[in-house]
Structure 1
Amino acid sequence: MVPVLRAALLAAFIFIGATGCAGAQNLPVHVDPGARDDMIDPVAVPALRFLTTPDFPPFNYTDAAGRLTGFNIDLADAICARLEARCTIQSWPWDRVQDALADNQGDALIAGLDIGGSAGERFDFSRIYLQLPARFVTQRPVFPDFDPQAITGTVAVREGSAHADLAERTLGRAQMAFYPSEFEALNAIASGEADFFFGDAARASFWLNENPDCCAFAGEAYFRPDLFGAGLAVAVPIGLDNVRVAINWALTRLQREGRIDEIYLRWFPVSFY
């Protein structure tokens, strides 16, 4: 879901002028609302069979009641509704879902599949509908003059992630603490075991929504598609152009109509942008 970190990293470029900070932006521009609309015949897609996985919270996962839920699930439903298409969403294990799409078990895969690498050669993709920046999290109060390069405490990261590798290379004054997951790294901030978290902003937002009194984002959002992935898009089998074009058509209109923002704020009331 996250591309392998590229070999060449300049020492501190994420934290200085080339960061691509979001500034005061609270809502992402998920797709280009001014993009040329693809002309489609909605009759060509009377039904859409979405595939997903049950283990990618908060985007697609099975909740405590056994229901498939998440941002991607709501977005898939919205795409079908906008196209007036019959909709099914079927959950597959992560290690089988790509083969299921290739074997015509579904028309589209919405599960955080990496656009690059082998998947990029195996499938076509819709427009990117959500970019995933990195952010710092720390205990409240958060000072407005937060400077990552001044960090001297402990930074919690997910072991093996691009965020962890980059933090090790660039935060020379900090001590790294490695955890199996983002949520465990974030819990270390709440317990005082670590001073800062650096990692996936979407996962952090989901966690902050459950821990609003404890912690908050510090500093700005950092967008590095070459390190953290290009973003989220819907995969479709190569050659299934009517489905890909229809999904792009729906995404453009859902953005213009504010529907994607509604779904985003439902799942991320603590905006990660």
Structure 2
Amino acid sequence: MAVACLALLTDPLARPAAAQEAAPGVTVPNFWDPRSSSDRPTVPPETIRFLASDDFPPFSFRDGTGRLTGFNIDLARAICEELDAACSLRIKSFDALVPALVREEGDAVIAGLAMTEANVKTLLFSDPYIGLPARFVALKGAEIDTTPEGLAGRKISVVEGTVHERFLRSYFADAQIVPFDGATEARAALGTEEAVVHFGDGLSLSFWLNGKTSGDCCVFVGEPWIEPGYFDRGMTIAFRKEDALRQEAVNHALQRLQLKGVYSELYLRYFPVSFY
């Protein structure tokens, strides 16, 4: 059921005079090949009616004043600016998004909708605009080799029953894998005899590292893991199967936003501790 229907997103996207550069040591991901460029659509869409939920921070949520904000919200606005399209955003519960799209109550779902087998049969998806890699974290100053050989015999904390545990048991079989009931317990094990590193979702870990609950204890170590079959499904925008023209236009806009530096500015605004 609809929770709100917002007015047209016609306000210019706030951005610095020059595209913001990544701070030293901060990696901004790039999902588009800079050597290839798509042509601007001959007939770009005049409107894009986005559908989203408002309980998905930091992608789409309400701030302390009740204002809708988030990475997805600003990205939708930037896409419309790039295409010179009028843009609206309608808020619904997550479970109601696909039915609303099918009923043509909107043109595109920007809400982290999973590319399940059922969804792929009935929907089109844009190029990925963000990935969700897995990462290792360790205490600051710890010298950790995060290869399977480097962690052989060493203790790794992980949340039990997750894809992260399944990955460790497949690729780090010689390590001592220590499962915990929840992320809080698994992270708290760092620096104790229970774990030398923790393995988990890079996005949530980036917020933990940058927040108060971590006590500034830890840092990412090693490289991001995007192993196919485990962590390779990125976030995309969904369209009706017959709406290939909008899909192509949005893909063009996403690539242009990357090339112009707008994507980097948005990424750094919402993810000051990069999870890449």
Give yes or no for TM over 0.5: yes
Q: What TM-score do you get using the length of structure 1 for normalisation?
A: 0.79
Query: C-alpha offsets along residues 166-225 of structure 1, whole Å, 9 cap, x if unaligned?
Result: 223434432423345x5x356535796854321221221122222472211011111113
Aligned position for 1:47:
47
Aligned position for 1:156:
158
2:204 match: secondary structure: helix
Q: How many residues matched?
A: 246
Larger Rg computed on CA atoms? 2
Aligned position for 1:166:
167
Matches within 5 A, 1:1-273: 26-41=27-42, 44-143=44-143, 145-147=145-147, 149-150=151-152, 152-157=154-159, 159-169=160-170, 170-180=172-182, 182=183, 184=184, 187-188=187-188, 195-210=196-211, 211=214, 213-273=216-276
Amino acid of the residue matched to residue 27 of structure 1?
Answer: V
Q: What TM-score do you get using the length of structure 2 for normalisation?
A: 0.78
The 1-side partners of 2:130 and 2:35 are apart by 16
- Cα distance change of structure 1 residues 62 and 161 upon mapping to structure 2, 3 Å threshold: farther
Quote how far apart the aligned CAs of 1:56 are.
Answer: 2.9
Query: C-alpha offsets along residues 22-47 of structure 1, whole Å, 9 cap, x if unaligned?
Result: xx8822112223334144145x4222
Structure 2 stretches lacking a partner, 5+ long: 1-24
The 1-side partners of 2:190 and 2:57 are apart by 20
The 2-side partners of 1:34 and 1:215 are apart by 37
- Cα distance change of structure 1 residues 212 and 40 upon mapping to structure 2, 3 Å threshold: farther
The answer on whether the counterparts of 1:114 and 1:229 sit within 8 Å (CA) in structure 2 is no
Quote how far apart the aligned CAs of 1:236 are.
Answer: 0.6
State, as a whole percentage, how many aligned pairs show the same letter.
Answer: 39
Amino acid of the residue matched to residue 103 of structure 1?
Answer: R
- Cα distance change of structure 1 residues 189 and 52 upon mapping to structure 2, 3 Å threshold: farther
The RMSD of aligned alpha carbons is: 2.6
Amino acid of the residue matched to residue 242 of structure 2?
Answer: G
